Structure 1
Amino acid sequence: MNSVKTRKVGNSLAITIPKDLNIEEVKEFIVYKGVNNVIVLAPKIPNPFDNIEPFIIDNHFEGVVLLDNEG
């Protein structure tokens, strides 16, 4: 198990990630503090909802017949 220490860089604290973890050099992470003050680094992924065509009810439900109590 690797052990690392925080160090001051400007007004922030930095932690070096050991090379043997094989993390890409320009990888971006989301960082947050979890339960019991555990620091979590989660790889940032693209938003799956970007560039999705808009949902238009007229095009997607053409020919659908409504029930008597709908509409």
Structure 2
Amino acid sequence: RGPIAAAHRWAGYIVPLLAGAIRHAERVALAMDARAFGAYPDRTERHLVPFRARDVVFVLAFLAVSASVFATTFPWTLA
């Protein structure tokens, strides 16, 4: 019912969201401590993904397509 009511309603969301974020951070920290996070040089659930030639081709193709789309839809004339 107006900008003041909207600002008051929005301000009421801040405290619960902040409290929820703090609770979540505490749970994550406890879970990391329980799993001995950082105790070993490598993590058990992660592995290195190699960057291959097909990834380079994909990145170059993506850049080429993006540049062509930008060039064809550029709204201002340079001449």
TM-score by length of 1: 0.26
More helix by share: 2
| Higher RCO by CA contacts (8 Å cutoff, separation 6 or greater) | 1
More strand by share: 1
TM-score by length of 2: 0.25
